Amino acid sequence: MTSITLPAYAKLNLTLDILRRREDGYHDLQMVMQTVSLHDDVTVTITGGDGIFCRCGEIPGDESNLAVKAARAFFAATGVAPCALDIDIVKRIPAQAGMAGGSSDAAATLRALRRLLKPELPGDELERIAATVGSDVPYCVRGGTALAEGRGERLTTLRDAPRLHAVLCKPDFAISTPMLFSRVKVSELWGRPDTTGMLDAIHHGDAEGVLDRVKNVFETVLPKEYAEVFDIKERFLRLGAEATAMTGSGPTVFGLYRDEAAAEAAYAVLQADYAQTFLTQFV
Ligand code: C5P
């Protein structure tokens, strides 16, 4: 086998909490993560050529691409002799959206390289390599419903959250993650999620309990110029969403629905105003 195509799923934060600032400049987080059906397709091909080539829609496929970084990290950490690669990414997940699109492409690249070159490599080894590529990459390797702690790389797999429909709506701007972290004074944070309650609700398969506890503390430090995030949340509530929040460091806002028809109706309305609106479900 010289080529493999894998889906790279987008993620949502059902909760996002910031616990403390660390000596290394990062923050200790506590996040309940969930993959959704929106995905890129990542094809990794071993070629007879030279070097690592990456095509990724309009996003640079050069050394700055996380998928290329992931491939380099795989060879460096495993001792597998580096070989020439083509990484071809069909992009659907918007970039800089809070949905871990780039991290998910990197994770799919790592999973593909394991399948092609070192199938015996244990999952925890692959996640360790993933952590050197980016904070969200280990979670993207694992997927599903999980608690992510530390920088985001310490994972606990949870029982699958109740299957919900998620409408994703990305306004037409990007929010810098380091900028948002720089606005956080941990001792002054308010509007923090009830992570324990969320874990309990997931454990008991309690959809209402999950919906009641969706929350992202980053919303409380958003600069005023990004207030459209709150407008979209209000629209979701008017459109019958049972929970709504920003995902990650934004700007994408999601609305959750138990009822598929209600999700479809909300999608149809928002899609008329926001080109980057997606109808998805938990996977
Ligand atoms: O690890 P990653 O490159 O995804 O992180 C991007 C930036 O976000 C970091 O340089 C840091 O400023 C901030 N960050 C943080 N705490 C985390 C994750 C990211 O402060 N747990």
pLDDT tens-digit readout, 257-275: 999 999 999 999 999 999 9
Residue type, 121: L
Rounded to the nearest angstrom, the distance between the alpha carbon of 258 and the centre of ligand 1 is 33
Question: Residue 236 — pLDDT band, cuts 50, 70, 90?
Answer: very high
pTM above 0.75, yes or no: yes
- Residue 59 phi/psi, 5-degree rounding, is -90, 140
Over residues 170-192, the pLDDT tens digits come to: 999 999 999 999 999 999 999 99
Residue of 40, 91, 136, 233 with catalytic role: 136
91 is catalytic: no
134 Cβ inside 6 Å of ligand 1: yes
CB 252 within 8 A of CB 229: no
Task: For residues 65 and 63, give the distance between their C-alpha atoms in angstroms, rounded to a whole number.
Answer: 5
CB of 19 closer than 6 angstroms to any ligand 1 atom? no
Q: pLDDT per residue over 38-91, tens digit each? A: 999 999 999 988 899 999 988 888 888 999 999 999 999 999 999 999 999 999
| C-alpha 204 to ligand 1 mean position (Å) | 32
Q: Supply the pLDDT for residue 184.
A: 96
pLDDT in tens, 112-138: 999 999 999 999 999 999 999 999 999
In this prediction, residue 210 has a pLDDT band, given cuts at 50, 70 and 90, of very high
Task: Give residue 229's pLDDT.
Answer: 98
Whole-number pLDDT of residue 186: 94
C-beta atoms surrounding 262 within 10 Å: 17
In the 8-state DSSP scheme, what is residue 279?
A: E
**259 part of the active site:** no
Nearest residue (by CA) to ligand 1, atom 9, is 178
